[in-house]
Structure 1
Amino acid sequence: MTVSGTINKSFALLLLLIAAATISWWFTANGFNPLILTAGGGIIGFILVLIAIFKPSRSTWAAPGYALFQGLFIGGISAFFEAAYPGLVIQAVGCTFVTFVVCFALYKYRIVKVTETFKSVVIAATLAIASFYLLSWILSFFINFTPIHHGNSLMSIGISVFVIIIAALNLFLDFDSIETGAERQHPKYMEWFGAMGLMITLVWLYVEFLHLLSKLSSRD
């Protein structure tokens, strides 16, 4: 495993994701219902993530598959948000790109150091967010209520900002994992695993920016 090899694979996954997202976007723009592509892409993408987590050696095909199917998901929801709030998607893309560049610079110049304490806090916060989202989703099937992270209230906006911060902090864990893996000479397939981890974080960050910007736009 090398850093340069992981970077190359990350670019390859990004291209696959953009290509697949374009397909969903095109279908939506031409009047087709993107629900099957969007939902199917999200579900299959999640399954591929689980496969890679439990069997990293399979990330050689799981990572490209994830990029393709997650691209279908991203394209569908992007078209949905763009239809409701024109110009929102390019803003979310810009925010995601700027966040990535800033985090990479902070990591590269060791302004932010990834210590064991840093890792523990970020992982704990990430698991807490995942649990909160999952619990809210499950409860919505049994109780008629609106989760506090929905809507455009100040509380909801605050939660979105917090989640974006945690998602951005996960980028530092991705950078550290890739660098550490290269230093320890992990197997070559771990380049795909590292690239996939980075892509997952970027997708999460982008989706959260879509939510935040839509909430701010709806308050205008």
Structure 2
Amino acid sequence: MNFNSNNPFLKNDKFTKEKQGGVTDFNASQTVERYNTIDLTNGTMTIQGTINKSFILLALLLVGAFATWYLTASGYNPIVLTVGGAIVGFVLVLIAAFKPHLSGKLAPGYAIFEGLFIGGISAIFEARYPGIVIQAVGGTFVTFLVCLGLYKFRIVKVNQTFRNVVIAATLAIATYYLISFIASLVFNFQMFHHGSSLMSIGFSAFVIVIAALNLFLDFDLIEDSAAKQQPKFMEWFAAMGLLITLVWLYIEFLRLLSKINSRN
């Protein structure tokens, strides 16, 4: 069974193991040969291990975010740390996507640098729209809990059709954002989602829904990967992928709330 996600982490096929006769076919010697740095004696991936590492990454992200927020409150211009954090975080994501066995080293760094970005962008939004950050955090937290509950109790079931629709929508959004960025940079033209029109607000709400649906894909792949007893480093890999989705969701909440506030 092939499990996919929009997240470059959570759709990496290096860890897909086929089941034959109900038994997972897992050749440890081949895996060690492929990743010389891996010691499978350290154990295999578990859901609890992934949860623990997700909390570690979240804590590191909050540390980075607080650092930028504090410096901004002290009069420091957050642009350097915000842009620098975003660039370094993106580079670490790319490296981890191609070198997932290094996730144990890359994931903490990503969390910290992404925290710098989050802290800076949050400070900028908060300065313009007081109270928006706590609203965005609350929206992200509630959305995560609702999606987790819906998945845990199998109210929402992830099948191949579900995956295909969510992945297609996510790729469409990513393509639109890329075209919008190029149009703004090259032609100084802003697409409709930059404004605070009802259409722009509706678009942001749609993006939040798609980001939330990606959480189901993340939950599903984490559960399936643990069931297939993938290598231990996949806990960091999966936790990093889940954090990427949460960051995206938070940023989209900031955008939506800023548009609503600008109309008041």
TM over 0.5: yes
Aligned to 2:244: 200
Alignment equivalent of 1:106, drawn from 143, 150, 153: 150
Which protein has the larger Cα radius of gyration, Structure 1 or Structure 2? 2
Deviations for 1:82-107, whole angstroms, at most 9, x for unmatched residues? Answer: 00010000000000000000000000
- TM-score when scaled to structure 1? 0.99
Alignment equivalent of 1:57, drawn from 84, 98, 101: 101
Aligned to 2:261: 217
1:54 is displaced (CA, Å) by: 1.4
| Higher relative helix content | 1
- Quote the sequence identity (%): 69
1:142 is displaced (CA, Å) by: 1.9
For residues 104 and 262 of structure 2, the distance between their equivalents in structure 1, rounded to whole angstroms, comes to 41
For residues 121 and 185 of structure 2, the distance between their equivalents in structure 1, rounded to whole angstroms, comes to 22
Alignment equivalent of 2:131, drawn from 60, 84, 87: 87
Aligned to 1:96: 140
Aligned to 1:31: 75
1:147 is displaced (CA, Å) by: 1.1
What does 1:1-220 align with in structure 2 at a 5 Å threshold? Answer: 1-220=45-264
For residues 121 and 48 of structure 1, the distance between their equivalents in structure 2, rounded to whole angstroms, comes to 28
For residues 132 and 62 of structure 1, the distance between their equivalents in structure 2, rounded to whole angstroms, comes to 29
- TM-score when scaled to structure 2? 0.82
State the aligned residue count: 220
Stretches of structure 1 lacking an aligned partner (at least 5 in a row): none
Computed over aligned residues only, the root mean square deviation of the Cα atoms, in angstroms, reads 0.6
**Secondary structure of 1:149's partner?**
helix
Stretches of structure 2 lacking an aligned partner (at least 5 in a row): 1-44
For residues 73 and 24 of structure 1, the distance between their equivalents in structure 2, rounded to whole angstroms, comes to 8
Moved more, 196-205 or 145-154: 145-154
Deviations for 1:101-129, whole angstroms, at most 9, x for unmatched residues? Answer: 00000000000001011111111111111
